[in-house]
Structure 1
Amino acid sequence: MMVRPTSFFPWYGSVDNVFMLCGEDASLTPDYQRWMVKNSPVKEVMEINGADHMPMLSMPRELCQCIVAITNSYIR
Structure 2
Amino acid sequence: MNNEVNGDGPDSCGIRILGETRDLTVVNNRIGNAPKGQQHIGILIGEKSDRIELRENELSGNLDRKIEDRREEKLWPVQIRR
Q: Rg bigger for which structure?
A: 1
Superposition TM-score, scaled by structure 1 size: 0.29
Higher share in helix: 1
Superposition TM-score, scaled by structure 2 size: 0.27
